[in-house]
Amino acid sequence: MTSHGVRLSDDDSSLVRHFHNRVRKCAVYVEHFYIGSPRGGGSGPARTGSGGTGTVIAFQGNATDGWLPIMATAAHVLENKYTSVSRFRISLYSVDVPAKPTARVLDFDAPVDVQAGPRDPCVVRYSGPFHEIIDVGLIRGPLKCTDGTAFFSQDPKYSLMPIEPEADWTSEGTRVAWAGYPQLAATFARRPQLCYFEGCVSSLVLRDDFQAYLLDGHNTFGISGGPVWAAHSDNESPRMIGIISGYQSLTTSPQMPGLVHAAPIQPITFFLTNIWNARMIERRDVGS
């Protein structure tokens, strides 16, 4: 039985249990609005937007000054080619009452890829070589939600997704799961709806210039930036191994199924450790 009253079958895998017990507490719905003056001239504010999924994986600060949440997502979810300012809404849903989900919401404006103060909201994307493959980005949100309450109501370690240690990789054939907020599910449910997906690692691509996972499974609009996780055999704890980026198929044979592309977590881990000095939890530090 999960905490929100939905019964799990006796043969549900640890991947499913991680979804209910941990991932639901970390996966966020990311809304990105393009506001301000249109790039390249024009008049009047342009107000379009995009959406995706993110995961709370780190924090900055302390109990005295307050904890700033840090979310990982796909870089293309954060891209703004249209206007001078990006506005974000980050929603973390609780399904303690499944028919009436509630959300902690962060609303803030932030320029993309522009240096900000040490405690200001900001958004950064990887934009170096092979950025179309290393499709990762980070969002640092404000201390408080839109309603004035702190985003982290208790020690942040209870609200972070455990991550794969930087030196570890997940091999081919490993069962993995991923989650996100598909547009199709939102249209059907008439609200953002977190969904579960499962498959296996078809290929671990390790090159000197980039790395990637190719997964045998399903992808759709809205789950870009969602977490990919595996179960560790030693203690059944979850480990986030990557971020959903897109779906790879051959343009010459669009009728043939393709593979889900996931960007590994390692570039995110390196940036958080060496640039932002943020705090994370690795899967060996926490149970399921």
Q: Count up the domains in the chain and report the number.
A: 1
Q: Could you tell me if residue 6 is inside a domain? A: no
For residues 19 and 83, the model is more confident at 19
Predicted confidence (pLDDT) per residue in 194-212, tens digit: 999 999 999 999 998 889 9
User: Average pLDDT, whole number, for the chain?
Assistant: 85
How does pLDDT run across 34-58, given as a tens digit for each residue? 887 676 655 555 566 778 999 999 9
DSSP E strands, the chain? 27-38, 48-62, 66-73, 83-94, 102-109, 122-125, 137-140, 175-180, 195-206, 211-216, 227-231, 238-248, 259-264
Per the structure, the complete domain to which residue 189 belongs is given by: 14-285
User: Quick check: pTM over 0.75?
Assistant: yes
Is residue 227 included in any domain, yes or no?
Answer: yes
CATH number for 101: 2.40.10.10
Residue 209 belongs to some domain of the structure: yes
In a domain, 235, yes or no: yes
Q: Is residue 55 within 8 Å of residue 30, measured between CB atoms?
A: no
Residue 9 in domain: no
Q: What angle do CA 204, 199, 266 make, to 5 degrees?
A: 40
- Backbone angles phi and psi of 198, in degrees to 5: -145, 145
- Summarize pLDDT for 147-183 with one digit per residue, the tens: 999 999 888 988 899 998 877 899 999 999 999 999 9
Per DSSP, 218 falls in state -
Single-letter amino acid code for the residue at 208: D
Query: pLDDT > 70: what percent of the chain?
Result: 85
